[in-house]
Amino acid sequence: MTKVLVSDPIDQAGIDILSQVAQVDVRTGLPPDELRAIIGDYEALMIRSGTTVTAEIIEAADKLRIIGRAGVGVDNVDVPAATKRGVLVVNSPEGNTIAAAEQALALMLALSRHVPHAHASTMAGGWDRKKYVGNELYKKKLGVVGLGKIGSHVARVGKAMGMDVMAYDPYVSAERAQQMQVRLLTLPALFAEADYVSLHLPRTPDTENLVNAELLKTMKPTARIVNCARGGIIDEAALAAAVENGTIGGAALDVYAKEPLEAGSPLRSVKERLILTPHLGASTEEAQENVAIDVAEQIRDVLLGLPARSAVNIPGLNAEVMEQLKPHLQLAETLGQLISQLAGGPISELEVRLQGDFAVHPAQPLVVAALKGLLSTALGDSINYVNASLEAKERGIHVLEVKDDASRDFAAGSLQLRSRSPQASHSVTGAVFAEGELRITSIDEFPVNVVPSRHMLFTRHRDMPGIIGELGSLLGEHNVNIASMQVGRRIVRGDAVMVLSLDDPIPPTLLASVLAINGIQAAHPVTL
């Protein structure tokens, strides 16, 4: 009989669903060695955050077909190891949407009316009504940073409460924003104008400490900020100082850079106008039941031979096919990341062109991988191979797939992505060389031959003497080491592109100096 192991506490509703198709063994709190010893008997594993599924455990799981995480994050699962073994990893990206959105709204209201501090004062025998005079949300300006599912719900409720809702999301089209009746602003403009800011972003290298002392200084002294998304997006020391010295009107946090919140955190010393809760965003009875049901249904469906709806890794491909396509999928995802950062704003259309031998490969996985890369800068781990197409559609991105088997620029073919927006269009082309080595072969139709690296700088410039030397000197002055450099041009003394692979990221302050170099027309730092 098919067997499912449940290694963390889940709602009984999930166990009931699994029991329809399998023998369900609930064994919580297993040490890693014990889990590894027994996992070979099971076709499915259902977990929450308590179980860490390592590559060693997956290697011992001879029968395992699916790992289900009852929640959103899958950082406790070695997804690459599971993918290599052909094991599906599924989560519940929508099960706690309402719970997380309502937590943000609850904190916003509690912050406005001083609820926790007034409660504490009253319980201590006080009756200080004047001290705790609050503010109404009606007609206030709400800035929503990130218009994913949770952020969109907060925006809708804010509108229903009579708030003037604005948003920052570089991957949402103007048409989509208009449908939602929100104003799209730049991040600095939103922080400067908003009375309330609610963050709904993943934690990525680009969003880490996004809200820093400099950004907080641009806010109104009466403005308040709420974070129920991910810890680490806000510089916590800077926030504590901004609340204490009156730079902003208050803050409410449900998530922290390190959890549990450290005893020595500067946030703990703030006595007024700050609300701290212990990561309660998904902690509702309804959300716990929803994620258990959602993931249990997906496990049941996979065991019955049906597709999963929220696979984190590649669905519908066996291990052999997946291994064959692995470098091509990596290339598609890398080019997607690259073109999203070159575009630097909303994209209305993405053309995915499979050229030469690339055209004989299954197109859909490559298209989805490109979209995953395109959206990963904004959405982080929440974007996967299943939801990438839907997320792109929701953001108003039209996807065009083109196969051109006649194009023979490289023996093994190539993949080209072309983005279009009202402001500009960009194109990037790549190929897979011997032993799976990835190469970027053109940028905006300029020929190059570059191995992708973690930190890169792309410039568009006039082909004239001195530019390369001046840029190299500038980076050297700022202790940014150049690993490799290449220039691509079509005609002598015309326009050209320069690609630099760097050992270090480009500081934002340095980018302005790069753009100030005579002859440089555009500069795009890229993190892959």
* Residues noted as catalytic: 230, 259, 279
Cα distance between residue 327 and residue 356, in whole Å: 16
Residue 437 CB neighbours (<10 A): 12
Please state whether beta strands 438-443 and 446-450 pair in parallel, antiparallel, or not at all (unpaired): antiparallel
DSSP 324-375: HHHHHHHHHHHHHHHHHHHH-S--SEEEEEEEGGGGGS-HHHHHHHHHHHHH
Query: Which residues, in sequence order, are bridge partners of residue 501?
Result: 456, 484
Contact by Cβ (8 Å): 389, 316: no
Contact by Cβ (8 Å): 219, 399: no
Report the amino acid identity of residue 442. Answer: S
469 phi/psi in degrees, rounded to 5: -65, -40
Tokens standing for residue 65: 């077909």
Cα distance between residue 114 and residue 224, in whole Å: 12
Nearest to 108 by CA among 128, 136, 149: 136
Nearest to 171 by CA among 354, 33, 374, 8: 374
Please give the DSSP secondary-structure letter assigned to residue 395.
T
Contact by Cβ (8 Å): 14, 296: yes
Q: What is the 3-state secondary structure (H, E, C) of 176-236?
A: HHHHHCCEECCHHHHHHHCCEEEECCCCCCCCCCCECHHHHHCCCCCCEEEECCCCCCECH
Positive or negative torsion for Cα 199, 205, 211, 215: negative
